Amino acid sequence: MRIVGILVALAGWLVPLVALSMTQSTGARFGACVLGIIISLVGILGVLNGVHQADAIWKKG
């Protein structure tokens, strides 16, 4: 799952980059940036942090 989290974070970064070539519209590029940032945050704070929280030191009894 760690690798999945990293891949999702990287995928989010690629979204606005790909959008640069697909559209000239500033609005569309803005939307792609916001979408990409959200995807990256899901990968980091959702997936990756979830892996670490599942194995957190304070949960061990």
Partner 1 sequence: MKFWKRRNRCLWMAIAILLVCSLAAFATPETAPPAVPAAQAAPAAVPPTPAPAVAPPAMDVPLDTKAAAAPSVDELAKGDPSGTKIGTVSDVIAADSKKGLTLADLVNQAGQNRIAINFVWTLITGFLVMFMQAGFAVVETGLTRAKNANHTMMMNFMVYGFGLFAYWVCGFAIQMGSAGPYSTLGGGAGLTGEYTINLFGKPFGLWGTHGFFMTHGGAYDVAAMVMFLFQMVFMDTALTIVTGTCAERWKYLAFAVSSVFMGALTYPLFANWAWGGGWLSQLGTNFGLGHGYADFAGSGVVHSVGGVTALALGMMIGPRIGKYTRRGKPNAIPGHDITWVLTGCFILAFGWFGFNPGSTLAASGNGALRISSVAVNTMLAGCTGSFGAILYMWIRYGKPDASMSGNGLLAGLVAITAPSGFVNTIGAAIIGSVAGVLVCLSVEFFDRVIKVDDPVGAISVHGANGLWGVISVGLFADGTSNYGGSWNGVNGGVTGLFYGDPGQLVAQLIGVGTLIGFVFSLSYVSGWIIDIIIGQRVPAADELAGLDIPEMGALCYPEFVLKPEPEMEPAMAAGD
**Radius of gyration of the CA atoms of the chain, in A:** 15
Report the site for partner 1 in 15-34 (rule: CB under 8 A).
15-17, 20-21, 24, 26-27, 29-30, 33-34
Binding status of residue 12 toward partner 1 by CB under 8 A: yes
Cα-flanking dihedrals φ and ψ of residue 55, to 5°?
-110, 25
Binding status of residue 45 toward partner 1 by CB under 8 A: yes
Q: Where do contacts with partner 1 occur on this chain (CB under 8 A)?
A: 2, 6, 9-17, 20-21, 24, 26-27, 29-30, 33-34, 36-37, 40-41, 43-45, 48-49, 52-53, 56-61
